[in-house]
Homo-oligomer: A and B are copies of this chain.
Amino acid sequence: MAESEDLSNSSSNSSSREDMHFFEGVEKLLEIWFEPNPANKNADLRKIPRPMWDALLKTVRCEIISFTRNDQIDAYVLSESSMFVSKRRWILKTCGTTTPLQCFEPLLRLASEIAGYTEIEDLFYSRKNYKRPELQVSPHRGFDEEVAFLDSFFEDGRAYSLGAINRDCWHLYTLSRGGGGSKILKRNNHLHQLMEQHHSEQQHEAQLIEAAMQPDPDQTIEVLMTDLDPNVMAIFTKDVCTTAKEATQKSGIHRLLPGMVIDDYLFDPCGYSMNGISKNGCYMTIHITPEREFSYVSFESNVASSDYGELIKRVIRTFQPGKFIVTVFANKTSIAANANREIEHLGTIDQWKRRDIQYSRFASYDLTYAQYCKYPS
């Protein structure tokens, strides 16, 4: 995406390989949930007007190139990947040498002054290891630097590295405040007091509170692919397709999650981005860096499923990666809550063999990480 722009960046930053065209497809993904504001029921991130997003994205070093929306979600295609804005959830996914953590202060100011939110409930910052970390810009020159930057904002953030850190891996920084921030914790104390009193009437009240405390089901799946089949990647070049729609159809992307309204973009001379949204608030997003030397494709969606195996198969059969990482986040009320057990059973998918699987439980979400290689490679 925006290949020509980043070509100049990478060659000016790289002294040893300055003649080589390179683009870092690996995205930085930031997802923030703001805490519902009891004093302002009309709080909504979509109140933030377009010129303010434009200004905010300048600090990230990217810009909006396409837009689509429905009642649940505003979806932006960016010069480097995507942004999704819902009532209280904000997702920014940016590749290349963008600097999403630089927008932190303007974002919190806009959330407070325009949208009506003052507290962060959950935050997830994640990315795969970069192919060429030496080309990144501060504070993104390494996960240590990213963690130190985020720790300067939050006292209770936790940083994890999943997978083999001397090979393919995936980094995560998370603030996970028990599924509802400090407010929920206070309610929990009330609940425990009620439980301890052993009065049936109060126990009933406690059960009602517990039911009300259950978070809305939520889940996110990502499939991050490298070393992709050059024949598939050729689809995402202007040599082979003249329009984004043609590339979407020819590759079969439109069949991955049928029923999504698709906003797709084919870059010149190559590269592809798409956002898909559905009326129930689900989204999907795909970003493709097709060049053989650094091919990369990411798939992400919050679609709920108790069988992600089928979706993973559709995705990897579509793109034919040499290697890929799967991550699944799911909270307790999601139908994907057993994704870890499901993926544990997926030791082999077609000719792809699992090399790593890790399962982590966080305060409000469980995470499954798995890495696969094509075999024989």
Q: Which residues of the partner chain B approach A356 to less than 8 Å between Cβ atoms?
A: 158, 360-361
CA distance A159 to B157 in the complex (A): 23
Q: Are A158 and B166 in contact (CB under 8 A)?
A: yes
CA distance A45 to B99 in the complex (A): 54
Q: Which residues of the partner chain B approach A68 to less than 8 Å between Cβ atoms?
A: none
| A358 touches which of B164, B344, B360 (Cβ 8 Å) | B360
Q: Are B166 and A151 in contact (CB under 8 A)?
A: yes
CA distance A167 to B166 in the complex (A): 21
Q: Are B165 and A147 in contact (CB under 8 A)?
A: yes
A359 at the interface (CB under 8 A from B): yes
The closest CB in chain B to the CB of A166 belongs to B159
A375 at the interface (CB under 8 A from B): no
The minimal Cβ–Cβ distance linking A210 to chain B, given in whole angstroms, is 17
| A147 touches which of B160, B166, B359 (Cβ 8 Å) | B166
Q: Which residues of the partner chain B approach A164 to less than 8 Å between Cβ atoms?
A: 158-160
Q: Could you tell me which residues of chain A, from 332 to 377, have a CB within 8 Å of some CB in chain B?
A: 344, 356-361
CA distance A147 to B151 in the complex (A): 25
CA distance A361 to B371 in the complex (A): 11
The minimal Cβ–Cβ distance linking A29 to chain B, given in whole angstroms, is 18
The residue among A151, A158, A159, A166 with the most chain B CB atoms within 10 A of its own CB is A166
CA distance A158 to B167 in the complex (A): 7
A-B contact pairs, 27 of them (CB 8 A): A147-B165, A151-B166, A157-B166, A158-B164, A158-B166, A158-B167, A158-B356, A159-B164, A159-B165, A159-B166, A160-B161, A160-B163, A160-B164, A160-B165, A160-B358, A161-B161, A161-B165, A344-B361, A356-B361, A357-B360, A357-B361, A358-B358, A358-B359, A358-B360, A358-B361, A359-B359, A359-B360
